[in-house]
């Protein structure tokens, strides 16, 4: 088997080594597994984000005068008129 040398930050290597040791694996085996899975498209490398905000809706009663004003504003907006 041909070998390749990789440069890995010491802190990252040590973290991986501790986890690998707990799983009774070597860092080399972990690296081979990850590289193979990456090469075969089984894992992707990238970033994702998730919005986990909870939105709160509130019902506000509107009297006739306020509704009339809101309708007027909506009408102006729809006709792109400046107030």
pLDDT tens digits for 16-64?
A: 999 999 999 999 999 999 999 999 989 888 777 677 777 777 778 888 8
- Domain extents in the chain: 10-39
Longest dimension (CA), the chain: 82
Q: For residues 52 and 83, which has the higher predicted lDDT (pLDDT)? A: 52
Say how far apart CA 16 and CA 12 lie, in whole Å: 6
Find tokens 């894992």 and name the residue.
Answer: 43
Q: Is residue 83 scored above 70 in pLDDT?
A: no
- Cβ neighbors of 7 (< 8 A, separation 6 or more) are none
CA triplet 14, 20, 24: central angle to 5 degrees?
140
For the full predicted model, state whether its pTM sits above 0.95.
Answer: no
């Amino acid at each position: 088997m041909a070998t390749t040398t990789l440069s890995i930050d010491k802190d990252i290597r040590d973290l991986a080594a501790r986890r690998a040791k707990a799983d009774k694996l070597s860092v080399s085996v972990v690296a081979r597994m990850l590289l193979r899975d990456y090469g075969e498209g089984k894992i992707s490398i990238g970033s994702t984000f998730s919005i986990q905000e909870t939105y709160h809706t509130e019902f506000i009663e509107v009297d006739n005068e306020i509704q009339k004003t809101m309708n007027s504003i909506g009408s102006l907006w729809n006709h792109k008129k400046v107030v």
